[in-house]
């Protein structure tokens, strides 16, 4: 039985920003194929679940999501599972969820149009190849963006093999996209109205290539080149590994005006014994040295991190070392997770898995401390005058929400300002998750 080509689509992305980016590129590709994006909340003929495999909860969610796509009359859309669960579980997915028509990995989604045709013929379409030819060259050019901010993936994959993590298996080996492809994409985004670009990679600061003159370039070189593009106001990058924070990249934080004072640098744990078992290849002290260097060139930098509590054999003393590193750094923002054993990773079969109740209790103590520091960071910006890039309307009439250089959400009464504008505000109040600003009145000349 053949099925009609889908006319409308919906791409739903979970997980990290790189998945969000992939979701946007899939949507642009489906639009180039003549399909239209379904209205928010409306049913679509084709649904892509762009999944995340990082923790068990995230990975299991996809199966309940698939079930929910059945309509009341018993019909369902064409369904594709993309992203990291697709890569990790492959052919197992249609065995567990018979409604799935397509399984496509993160390095193969440029081949979606062919997979859709196959699904129309009633065949199961599976593609989890990691082709030598990168997908990027086969994707349509970027189209005009709805928002003034955009992600741009410059690096993919990971060679670090932290013992808890699935990413090296789901995303493959580290690759850096070529210089010119990145510059072309950045220019297309800027032409389409983008004023802030966030460079993405699983280890974005491991990005390195030869430039057009044959010189070896690291991420700082790319940032300096983007800094020279007219129309671009702000540059950010994420996520970084402590071992790839080169002196050149640190120096860029003190010198490149468009590079925003924000650094997401995960440490995961504060105990050297646990860091070693995690195969992080840095110590608590070497991590703190990197942050010291960054703070020396950019004293106002907002620091952010990721933490895992309850890694196998983590003792109370190890956990106390994590709390201590948090007290030493005083993060502006952080993500913290309970350790989740992942199939195929070395840590999953380690002895002394930490009981759930202890993990819960440690996570709560850690988050209380992180939340307190986040609030303190926000409160310390009250009274400052700063620039916002306005990103979206607020809930109140006339209200707009923008981001500060330190990635805080700031609410302001717009008074004629528009989304995409850069405006000067005085920060007047701060809560744990957002701040309020007042539009700065320009003094008469």
Choose between 46 and 262: whose C-beta lies nearer to ligand SAH: 262
Q: How many other C-beta atoms can be found within 10 angstroms of the C-beta atom of residue 287?
A: 24
Backbone angles phi, psi at 275, to 5 degrees: -60, -40
Q: How many other C-beta atoms can be found within 10 angstroms of the C-beta atom of residue 60?
A: 11
Residues 79 and 94: beta-carbon distance below 8 Å: no
Residues 435 and 429: beta-carbon distance below 8 Å: yes
266 binds ligand SAH (CB under 6 A): yes
Among 135, 160, 171, 280, binds ligand F3S (CB under 6 A): 171
Choose between 38 and 158: whose C-beta lies nearer to ligand F3S: 158
* Closest approach of ligand SAH to the CB of residue 240, in Å: 7
Residues 185 and 150: beta-carbon distance below 8 Å: no
Within 26-55, the residues that bind ligand F3S by CB under 6 A are 52-54
Q: What residue 83 binds from ligand SF4, ligand SAH, ligand F3S, none (CB within 5 to 8 A, per partner kind)?
A: ligand F3S
DSSP 441: P
165 binds ligand SAH (CB under 6 A): yes
- Dist. CA 211–CA 205, nearest whole Å: 16
Q: What residue 55 binds from ligand SF4, ligand SAH, ligand F3S, none (CB within 5 to 8 A, per partner kind)?
A: ligand SAH
Q: How many residues bind ligand SAH (CB under 6 A)?
A: 18
Q: What residue 168 binds from ligand SAH, ligand F3S, ligand SF4, none (CB within 5 to 8 A, per partner kind)?
A: ligand SF4
Q: What residue 209 binds from ligand SF4, ligand SAH, ligand F3S, none (CB within 5 to 8 A, per partner kind)?
A: none
**Joined tokens for residue 95:** 């065995």
- Dist. CA 407–CA 208, nearest whole Å: 26
Contacts of 273 (CB under 8 A, 6+ apart): 318
Q: How many other C-beta atoms can be found within 10 angstroms of the C-beta atom of residue 86?
A: 28
Among 19, 202, 205, 304, binds ligand SAH (CB under 6 A): 202
* Closest approach of ligand SAH to the CB of residue 336, in Å: 8
- Alpha carbon distance, N-terminus to C-terminus of the chain: 74
Length of the chain: 445
DSSP 243: G
Within 332-351, the residues that bind ligand SAH by CB under 6 A are 337, 339-340, 342
Bridge-partner residues for 234, per DSSP?
Answer: 196
253 binds ligand SAH (CB under 6 A): no
Among 9, 10, 15, 404, binds ligand F3S (CB under 6 A): 15
Choose between 100 and 166: whose C-beta lies nearer to ligand SF4: 166
Q: What residue 340 binds from ligand F3S, ligand SAH, ligand SF4, none (CB within 5 to 8 A, per partner kind)?
A: ligand SAH
Choose between 97 and 358: whose C-beta lies nearer to ligand SAH: 358
Contacts of 93 (CB under 8 A, 6+ apart): 62, 81, 85, 86, 100, 103
User: What angle separates helix 247-255 from helix 284-297, to the nearest 10 degrees?
Assistant: 30
Helix (H) or strand (E) holding 149: strand 149-153
Residues that bind ligand SF4 (CB under 6 A): 158, 160-162, 165, 167-168, 202-203, 241
Helix (H) or strand (E) holding 291: helix 284-297
Q: What residue 161 binds from ligand SF4, ligand F3S, ligand SAH, none (CB within 5 to 8 A, per partner kind)?
A: ligand SF4
Within 274-313, the residues that bind ligand SAH by CB under 6 A are 306, 308
* Closest approach of ligand SAH to the CB of residue 308, in Å: 5
162 binds ligand F3S (CB under 6 A): no
342 binds ligand F3S (CB under 6 A): no
- Dist. CA 99–CA 323, nearest whole Å: 45
Bridge-partner residues for 82, per DSSP?
Answer: 50, 104
Interface residue list for ligand SAH (CB under 6 A): 54-55, 158, 164-165, 167, 202-203, 239, 241, 266, 268, 306, 308, 337, 339-340, 342
Interface residue list for ligand F3S (CB under 6 A): 15-16, 18-19, 52-54, 83-84, 166-167, 170-171, 202
């Amino acid at each position: 039985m053949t099925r009609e080509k889908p006319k409308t689509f919906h791409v739903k992305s979970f997980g990290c920003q790189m998945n969000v980016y992939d979701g946007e590129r899939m949507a642009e590709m489906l639009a180039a194929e003549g399909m239209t994006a379904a209205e928010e909340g409306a049913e679509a003929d084709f649904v892509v679940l762009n999944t995340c495999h990082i923790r068990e909860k995230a990975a299991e969610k996809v199966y309940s999501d698939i079930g929910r796509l059945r309509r009341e009359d018993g019909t369902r859309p064409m369904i594709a599972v993309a992203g990291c669960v697709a890569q990790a579980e492959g052919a197992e997915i249609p065995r567990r969820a018979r409604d799935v028509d397509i399984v496509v990995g993160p390095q193969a989604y440029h081949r979606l149009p062919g997979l859709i045709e196959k699904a129309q013929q009633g065949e199961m379409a599976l593609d989890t190849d990691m082709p030598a030819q990168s997908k990027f060259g086969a994707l349509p050019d970027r189209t005009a963006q709805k928002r003034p901010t955009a992600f741009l993936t410059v690096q993919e994959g990971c060679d670090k093999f932290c013992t808890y993590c699935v990413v090296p298996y789901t995303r493959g080996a580290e690759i850096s996209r070529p210089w010119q492809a990145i510059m072309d994409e950045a220019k297309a985004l800027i032409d389409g109205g983008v004023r802030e670009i966030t460079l993405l990679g699983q280890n974005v600061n491991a990005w390195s290539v030869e430039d057009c003159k044959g010189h070896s370039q690291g991420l700082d070189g790319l940032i300096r080149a983007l800094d020279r593009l007219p129309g671009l106001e702000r540059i950010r990058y994420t996520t970084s590994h402590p071992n790839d924070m080169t002196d050149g990249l640190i120096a860029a934080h003190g010198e490149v005006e468009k590079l925003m004072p924000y650094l997401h640098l995960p440490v995961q744990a504060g105990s050297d014994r646990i860091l070693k078992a995690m195969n992080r290849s840095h110590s608590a002290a070497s991590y703190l040295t990197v942050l010291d260097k960054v703070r020396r060139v950019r004293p106002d930098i907002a620091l952010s991190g990721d933490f895992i509590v309850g890694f196998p054999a983590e003792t109370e003393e190890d956990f106390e070392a994590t709390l201590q590193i948090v007290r030493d750094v005083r993060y502006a923002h952080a993500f913290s997770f309970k350790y989740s054993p992942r199939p195929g990773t070395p840590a999953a079969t380690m002895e002394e898995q930490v009981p759930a109740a202890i993990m819960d209790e440690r996570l709560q103590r850690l988050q209380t401390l992180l939340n307190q520091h986040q609030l303190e960071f926000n409160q310390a910006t009250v009274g400052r005058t700063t620039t916002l890039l306005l990103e979206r309307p607020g809930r109140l009439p006339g209200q707009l929400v923008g981001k500060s250089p330190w990635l805080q959400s700031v609410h302001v009464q717009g008074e004629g300002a528009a989304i995409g504008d850069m405006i000067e505000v005085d920060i007047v109040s701060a809560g744990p998750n957002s701040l309020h600003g007042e539009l700065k009145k320009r003094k008469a000349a």
